[in-house]
Structure 1
Amino acid sequence: MAKFLNTSATNYFLEELIKNARDRLILISPFLKLSDRIKELLEDKNRLKIDVRIVYGKSELLPEEINWLNNLSYIRTSFCKNLHAKCYLNEELCIVTSLNLYEFSQINNNEMGVLMTRTEDNEIFMEAYEEAQRIIRISEEVRVSLERVDQKNEPEENTKGKLTTSKLAKKLGKSTDELLEALVQKGHLKRYGDKVELTDSGKALGASHIKKSRFGSYFIWPEDCHLD
């Protein structure tokens, strides 16, 4: 039987919904702005290789949060124009609510929601699930930088023995931003405003620029690459 949720109950069941997702998680919210607790839970889902889809209408992430999100391989983001719905689902639970995913809403606002389960509220649960799927279908899968993700005609690139920038940074004990800056200083990358491009030096090093993929564009580097 569907259950009414007040502010604190909505927060509680939203956390439980995310924590207990075993195969998939759908988060639909107008604003892509995440509380620290939600980020922590999403990182755990990514480690467990759970398929997570976030649909949003407007991004309010800071640059460092964008880098953080783009490094989570199992979390996909989609942009939906004129989105105002707030709906959160896993395989068993669905919450339709006024609650956003950011901290101010979770702490300061008076919110309401309704909790449904697939077992006890199957008909309404499936209606909400189908509507969530429709919203995903009409959305455009993007990186948070709003570069379109083109899933067609992806180039075949030999990535054997190569690491993404974030994985290479982890191997070298640096943050991704620190490694990017070091690569710019070495002349392997060149900055153009807020973008970076691979130079001839970087190509000679064995690096490649993957321009089209499920996760947007990124650089790959030889796994034995060092900055000495």
Structure 2
Amino acid sequence: MAKFLKGNLLNAAVEEIFDNCDRQLIIVSPFIKLHNRFINSLKPKKENDKLHIQILFGKNEKDISKSFNLEDFEFLKDFPNIEIRYNEHLHAKYYSNDSKAILSSMNLYDYSQNNNIEFGILTNASIIDNLAGQLTSDNLDNNALEYFQQVIKDSDLLYERKPQYNSKFAGLHKVYTQSEVTVDKLSALLDSPTTKAKKPKFTQTTTSSKDEKVVGYCIRTGEEIEFNPERPMSNKAFQMWSKYGDKDYQEKYCHYSGEPSNGETTFAKPILRKNWKKAMK
């Protein structure tokens, strides 16, 4: 039986999709930025070679990093059984695990979850039963699943990692040995930090003249920029942030010191409380 969801019930249902995936997780969303709750749900599953993750994102064909977060890719790419695809025409949103699915208006993005008026339709969709030819759910579930599987298949494969197995007992039993990357076009497209020089370590910078530019740090990337609490981001980070303009979105670094802020800094409050007096001198 399909169920209409909105507000906190919708957010909770999407979180449950992540919590309860064991064999299959499908994420279809033009924009993807994983909330820490989703990351924490997936971390214990990182060694599960049986969990097949399919991710499809879209939009921003000239700079897909605006649609799919580099840090999320760094987290997801090590899962042993995952494919990430791209379709510039994607507008639909769909989230599914082994037993349930959500058709929704909501992007998998913090701003959408916290600020927009969104809805979702929760259905009982058994992907495993579908693959086995044992359909038990209604037409809505089956039609949605079949449609999105085809959309995923027809989209551009940017990253794939597949588990490898050894056969035992005359092929009756398979033993997982390792996982291999078979396709990786995404690292270059997202400008993976592994191809860049490492960021400079934090050092407190002082100036001897008021005319000199005071060094600050981008609250999103940690890189050195001019100190300006009203614009505490690099140009590239600011462009990404301005797409949604959420001044209370949790960031990673202190604009004054460059040290990790563990989410305590935002665009509205870019300086850690303990550094505020020193920053205003």
TM range (shorter): 0.5 to 0.7
For 2:108 and 2:121, locate their aligned partners in 1 and report how far apart those are by CA, in whole Å. 16
Partner of 2:54: 53
For 2:151 and 2:91, locate their aligned partners in 1 and report how far apart those are by CA, in whole Å. 11
Residues 19-68 of structure 1, C-alpha deviations (whole Å, 9 max, x = no match): 11121111100113222222222333333331110111044345444333
Which of 99, 118, 137 is residue 153 of structure 2 equivalent to?
137
Q: Is 1:85 aligned to 2:92, yes or no? A: yes
TM-score (norm 2): 0.48
For 1:103, give the aligned amino acid: D
Partner of 1:206: none
Q: Is the 8 A contact 2:48 2:80 kept in 1?
A: no
**May I ask how many residue pairs the two structures share in their alignment?**
155
Partner of 1:69: 76
Q: Is the 8 A contact 1:46 1:74 kept in 2?
A: no
Shift in alpha-carbon separation, 1:72–1:181, aligned structure 2, 3 A: farther
For 2:108, give the aligned amino acid: L
Percent sequence identity is 31
* Higher RCO, 1 vs 2 (CA within 8 Å, ≥6 residues apart): 1
Coordinate RMSD, CA, aligned: 3.2
Please report how far the alpha carbon of residue 121 of structure 1 lies from its aligned counterpart in structure 2 after TM superposition.
4.5
Q: Is the 8 A contact 2:58 2:89 kept in 1?
A: yes
Shift in alpha-carbon separation, 1:128–1:108, aligned structure 2, 3 A: same
Residues 153-211 of structure 1, C-alpha deviations (whole Å, 9 max, x = no match): xxxxxxxxxx99xxxxxxxxxxx969x869xxxxxxxxxxxxxxxxxxxxxxxxxxxxx
Structure 1 unmatched ranges of 5 or more:
144-148, 152-162, 165-175, 183-228
Shift in alpha-carbon separation, 1:41–1:74, aligned structure 2, 3 A: farther
Q: How does 1:1-228 map to 2 (within 5 A)?
A: 1-49=1-49, 50-58=51-59, 59=64, 60=66, 61-118=68-125, 121-143=137-159
Pick the structure with more helix per residue: 1
TM-score (norm 1): 0.59
Structure 2 unmatched ranges of 5 or more:
127-135, 163-178, 181-191, 199-281
- Which has more radius of gyration? 2
Shift in alpha-carbon separation, 1:29–1:177, aligned structure 2, 3 A: closer
Q: Is the 8 A contact 1:32 1:57 kept in 2?
A: no
- Name segments (4+ residues, structure 1) moved above 4 Å: none
